[in-house]
Protein backbone atom coordinates (compact mmCIF):
# COMPACT_ATOMS: atom_id res chain seq x y z
CA UNK A 1 0.00 0.00 0.00
CA UNK A 2 1.33 3.46 -0.89
CA UNK A 3 1.42 6.36 1.57
CA UNK A 4 -0.56 9.30 0.24
CA UNK A 5 0.69 12.82 0.76
CA UNK A 6 -2.01 14.95 2.34
CA UNK A 7 -0.06 18.20 2.04
CA UNK A 8 1.38 20.36 4.76
CA UNK A 9 0.10 19.98 8.29
CA UNK A 10 0.32 22.98 10.56
CA UNK A 11 0.16 22.76 14.36
CA UNK A 12 -2.87 24.43 15.97
CA UNK A 13 -2.43 28.08 16.85
CA UNK A 14 -3.23 29.32 20.36
CA UNK A 15 -6.28 31.56 20.66
CA UNK A 16 -5.50 35.18 21.39
CA UNK A 17 -8.02 36.68 23.75
CA UNK A 18 -9.00 40.27 23.09
CA UNK A 19 -8.46 42.71 25.91
CA UNK A 20 -11.68 44.05 27.34
CA UNK A 21 -11.77 47.74 28.11
CA UNK A 22 -12.54 48.49 31.69
CA UNK A 23 -15.79 50.36 32.05
CA UNK A 24 -15.33 53.76 33.64
CA UNK A 25 -18.12 55.88 34.98
CA UNK A 26 -16.57 59.15 33.85
CA UNK A 27 -15.85 59.94 30.20
CA UNK A 28 -12.24 60.54 29.13
CA UNK A 29 -10.68 62.52 26.29
CA UNK A 30 -9.91 60.48 23.20
CA UNK A 31 -6.72 62.47 22.56
CA UNK A 32 -5.03 62.92 25.94
CA UNK A 33 -7.09 60.82 28.39
CA UNK A 34 -8.00 63.72 30.67
CA UNK A 35 -11.45 64.33 32.14
CA UNK A 36 -14.08 65.83 29.85
CA UNK A 37 -17.24 67.77 30.52
CA UNK A 38 -20.50 66.98 28.75
CA UNK A 39 -22.53 69.92 27.52
CA UNK A 40 -25.70 69.14 25.54
CA UNK A 41 -24.45 67.13 22.57
CA UNK A 42 -20.74 67.86 22.99
CA UNK A 43 -17.88 66.62 25.16
CA UNK A 44 -15.02 69.03 25.77
CA UNK A 45 -11.64 68.08 27.24
CA UNK A 46 -10.57 70.18 30.21
CA UNK A 47 -6.87 69.76 29.41
CA UNK A 48 -6.41 69.99 25.63
CA UNK A 49 -9.79 71.37 24.49
CA UNK A 50 -10.54 68.46 22.13
CA UNK A 51 -14.26 68.38 21.35
CA UNK A 52 -16.50 65.57 20.12
CA UNK A 53 -20.17 65.69 19.28
CA UNK A 54 -22.97 63.13 19.39
CA UNK A 55 -23.03 62.90 15.58
CA UNK A 56 -19.49 61.45 15.61
CA UNK A 57 -20.73 58.11 16.92
CA UNK A 58 -18.74 58.04 20.13
Number of domains in the chain: 1
Angle at 26 between CA 21 and CA 43, to 5 degrees: 105
pLDDT at 55 (0 to 100): 82
The predicted pLDDT at position 44 comes to 92
Domain span at residue 40 reads: 27-58
| Confidence at residue 48, expressed as pLDDT on a 0 to 100 scale | 94
Candidates 53, 46, 10, 13; CA nearest to 28 is 46
Task: Write the pLDDT tens digit of every residue in 5-57.
Answer: 667 777 777 777 766 555 556 789 989 999 999 888 899 999 999 999 888 75
10 in a structural domain: no
Answer whether 0.75 is exceeded by the pTM. no
One DSSP character per residue, the chain reads: -PPPP-----PPPPPPPPPPPPP-SS-B-TTT--BEEEETTEEEETTT--EEEGGGT-
19 in a domain, yes or no?
Answer: no
Amino acid sequence: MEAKSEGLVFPPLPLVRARVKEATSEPRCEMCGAEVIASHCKRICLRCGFMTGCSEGV
